[in-house]
């Protein structure tokens, strides 16, 4: 009996050991398949669209939805916002406000949100960010890629300056007005808002969605690459070619905006005139050639990159960093200035 019992015990032990071994094997097979699925089989779909005067690149992957369906929704949302806030399209809300003869116009909550955000950064930056420069923008020809561009006369500039300035914009409840003759142009903030909304829509459709939206150098991250790795983003050399960079940052979430004098400009008598105007002078700002801002939302980084381009490197930057924004500025001599925290994003983690 003892011999039989011993054989039974041995047999059971062998079976248990075999099951344990099989379990270990299956565990590692599962881990390997999971890693392969998340790293190798996840398919990113890319799409390019022309919006907001630039090429918008969408890169999306999803575990639950067809990424092309998600991108369709993202593009529709961005085009809706582009048309709604285009001051030069007759049925847009901004066109109605601009042509209301100084009268109050009732608007929706989204419009109030964007205009209040614009006014917030106008006040915060001492007017360096200004959403009421429409007359100046049209005067220079920067309102349309096909518009004729020229250096205005002093008389033309002074006349346009009198019809410009964020203090001419008022908000009261759900009503908005701008002084008669003044024109709102939200080009320095609405693109960032549109990208933020597209990112939000992608996550609403599938919370596992990853990828990014790149709107001419203004980038909103949907989620980390393959769900775990940061995206590598090159910062363009403002005096180099299309593919030349001055540095690289890594982002798994959040947003980065870059404003540069190489985006939209023309040259006259050997001088470069770009689209980022100094609200005080009416001329293109001359304290930087490129500004990159990293933040949580692109709508904020977009407005700040424009404002800092006008302000240049100075004490105000410390205040922006205290609010959680990191800045790289390249001045007119080609010298690179960075906030202390900017270094953190230059390392892959």
Do 91 and 155 lie in one domain? The reply is yes
Alpha-carbon dihedral sign for residues 14, 16, 17, 23: positive
In terms of Cα–Cα distance, which of 223, 235, 227 is closest to 293?
Answer: 235
Q: What pLDDT, on a 0 to 100 scale, did the predictor assign at position 5?
A: 52
Give the torsion through C-alpha atoms of 29, 31, 36, 39, to 10 deg: -170
Tokens (6 digits) for 323: 């609010």
Do 90 and 22 lie in one domain? The reply is no
d(CA 109, CA 126): 26
Do 8 and 91 lie in one domain? The reply is no
Do 94 and 166 lie in one domain? The reply is yes
Q: What is the span of the domain harbouring residue 169? A: 86-178
Q: 325, exposed or middle or buried, with CB in 10 Å at 0-12, 13-18, 19+?
A: buried
Residue 261 lies in a domain: no
Do 90 and 172 lie in one domain? The reply is yes
Residue 233 lies in a domain: no
Q: How many domains does the chain have?
A: 2
Residues 26-63 have pLDDT tens digits of 444 343 434 434 444 479 999 999 999 999 999 999 99
Do 172 and 94 lie in one domain? The reply is yes
Residue 13 lies in a domain: yes
With 50 as the cut, is the pLDDT of residue 181 above it? Answer: yes
Residue 139 lies in a domain: yes
Residues 197-220 have pLDDT tens digits of 999 999 999 999 999 999 999 999
Do 22 and 90 lie in one domain? The reply is no
The model's pTM: 0.87
Do 27 and 90 lie in one domain? The reply is no
Do 91 and 14 lie in one domain? The reply is no
Residue where a domain terminates, one of 153, 178, 203: 178
Residue 72 lies in a domain: no
Residue where a domain terminates, one of 146, 178, 210: 178
Give the torsion through C-alpha atoms of 87, 92, 95, 101, to 10 deg: -160
Residue 137 lies in a domain: yes
Residues 95-148 have pLDDT tens digits of 999 999 999 999 999 999 999 999 999 999 999 999 999 999 999 999 988 899
Residue 316 lies in a domain: no
* For range 213-232, the mean pLDDT: 96
CATH number at residue 103: 1.10.3980.10
């Amino acid at each position: 009996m003892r011999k039989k019992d011993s054989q039974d015990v041995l047999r059971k032990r062998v079976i248990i050991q075999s099951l344990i071994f099989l379990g270990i094997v299956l565990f590692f097979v599962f881990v390997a398949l999971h890693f392969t699925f998340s790293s190798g089989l996840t398919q990113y779909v890319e799409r390019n669209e022309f919006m907001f005067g630039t090429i918008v690149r969408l890169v999306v992957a999803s575990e639950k939805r067809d990424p092309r369906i998600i991108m369709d929704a993202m593009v529709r949302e961005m085009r809706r916002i582009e048309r709604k806030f285009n001051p030069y399209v007759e049925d847009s809300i901004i066109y109605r406000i601009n042509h209301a003869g100084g009268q109050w116009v009732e608007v929706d909550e989204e419009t109030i949100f964007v205009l209040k955000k614009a006014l917030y950064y106008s006040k915060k930056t001492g007017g360096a960010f200004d959403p009421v420069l429409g007359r100046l923008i049209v005067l220079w020809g920067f309102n349309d890629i096909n518009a004729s561009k020229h250096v205005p006369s002093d008389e033309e500039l002074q006349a346009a300056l009198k019809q410009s300035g964020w203090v001419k914009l008022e908000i009261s409840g759900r009503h908005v007005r701008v002084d008669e003759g003044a024109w709102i142009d939200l080009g320095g903030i609405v693109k960032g808002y549109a990208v933020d909304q597209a990112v939000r829509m992608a996550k609403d459709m599938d919370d596992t969605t990853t990828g990014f939206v790149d709107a001419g150098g203004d980038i909103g991250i949907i989620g980390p690459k393959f769900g775990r790795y940061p995206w590598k983003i090159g910062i363009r050399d403002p005096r180099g070619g299309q593919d030349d960079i001055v540095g690289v940052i890594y982002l798994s979430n959040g947003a980065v905006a870059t404003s540069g004098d190489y985006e939209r400009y023309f040259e006259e008598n050997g001088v470069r005139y770009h689209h980022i105007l100094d609200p005080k002078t009416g001329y293109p700002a001359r304290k930087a050639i490129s500004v990159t801002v990293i933040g949580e939302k692109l709508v904020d980084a977009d407005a700040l990159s424009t404002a800092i381009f006008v302000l240049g490197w100075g004490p105000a930057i410390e205040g922006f960093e205290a609010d959680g924004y990191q800045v790289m500025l390249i001045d007119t001599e080609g010298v690179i200035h960075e906030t202390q925290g900017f270094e953190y994003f230059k390392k892959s983690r």
